[in-house]
């Protein structure tokens, strides 16, 4: 059934050992009136995805966020499998409007990165920003005629963060989600796009 809530699809291969994503999920769980939390690894421990159920979840929500830890400058594998299996021809893309059932949905990304923000700088160690690295996801969102939103990124986890910093990131992430849900349709107007504390 259609809802005004934001759907957050969480993909973390080992959420029990997670620090950041686990804390973010805990924060989101306090706002179940605003947010539908959907954890792929919890739902599909053997990675067998219920495609029809996933498609229905997407249809029911207009605002969607993919939350995941950055793995090899990309998504964890179950999220890639999810894309391959759920975003089917005739559902997510195709010639006719009826085949592009996700058209107009607003889709954001919330990423935790082990590497420091400065290393992702244009002049940094990797000379590639997270926004550049997630370009395939952005193109996928555009391909299905949805609207890509700014990326929320929390950097530098490998160098360690205090509990206060992680709590702050959770609060800022919640703000990001609230802006998506209530804000104007222009992505540029979302002023929380990253959370660089390192
Ligand atoms: C297999 C693997 C690959 C990773 N690749 C990257 C990477 O490419 N870039 C990066 O910034 N961090 C990378 N990391 C670090 C994770 O992004 C980081 O540990 C995670 O975001 C921490 O969040 P968590 O506390 O929720 O687990 C990688 C970690 C693992 C286990």
Tell which atom from ligand 1 comes closest to the C-alpha of 154. 21
User: What integer pLDDT is reported at residue 182 of this predicted model?
Assistant: 78
User: What integer pLDDT is reported at residue 195 of this predicted model?
Assistant: 57
**Ligand 1 centre and the CA of 18: distance in Å?**
10
Q: Does the Cβ of 71 fall within 6 Å of ligand 1?
A: yes
Q: Which residue has the tokens 């990165």?
A: 113
- Mention every residue, 6+ apart, whose C-beta is less than 8 A from residue 78: 11, 13, 40, 41, 44, 47
Structurally, how many domains does the chain consist of? Answer: 1
User: What integer pLDDT is reported at residue 194 of this predicted model?
Assistant: 55
**Ligand 1 centre and the CA of 5: distance in Å?**
28
- The CATH number assigned to the domain holding 77 equals 3.40.50.360
- Provide block-wise average pLDDT over 10 residues at a time, the chain (198 residues): 96 98 98 97 98 98 98 98 98 96 98 97 94 98 98 94 95 96 54 47
| Alpha carbon 77 to chain centroid, angstroms | 14
**Ligand 1 centre and the CA of 198: distance in Å?**
15
Q: Which residue range is the domain that position 164 belongs to?
A: 3-195
Q: Does the Cβ of 115 fall within 6 Å of ligand 1?
A: yes
Sign (positive or negative) of CA dihedral 96, 53, 17, 197: positive
**Ligand 1 centre and the CA of 114: distance in Å?**
5
pTM of this prediction? 0.94
């Amino acid at each position: 059934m259609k809802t005004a809530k934001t759907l957050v699809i969480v993909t973390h291969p080992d959420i029990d050992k997670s620090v950041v994503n686990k804390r973010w999920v805990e924060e989101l769980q306090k706002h179940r009136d605003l947010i539908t939390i959907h954890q792929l690894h919890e739902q599909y421990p053997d990675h067998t995805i219920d495609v029809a159920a996933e498609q229905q979840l997407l249809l029911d929500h207009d605002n969607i966020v993919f939350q995941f830890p950055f793995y090899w400058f990309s998504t964890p594998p179950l999220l890639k499998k999810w894309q391959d299996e759920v975003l089917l021809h005739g559902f997510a893309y195709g010639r006719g409007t009826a085949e592009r059932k996700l058209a107009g949905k607003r889709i954001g990304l919330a990423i935790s990165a082990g590497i420091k923000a400065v290393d992702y700088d244009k002049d940094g160690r990797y000379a590639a920003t997270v926004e550049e690295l997630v370009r395939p996801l952005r193109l996928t969102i555009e391909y299905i005629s949805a609207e890509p939103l700014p990326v929320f990124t929390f950097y530098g986890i490998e160098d360690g963060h205090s509990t206060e910093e992680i709590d702050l990131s959770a609060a800022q992430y919640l703000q990001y989600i609230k802006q998506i849900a209530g804000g104007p349709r222009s992505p540029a107007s979302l002023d929380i796009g990253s959370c660089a504390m390192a």
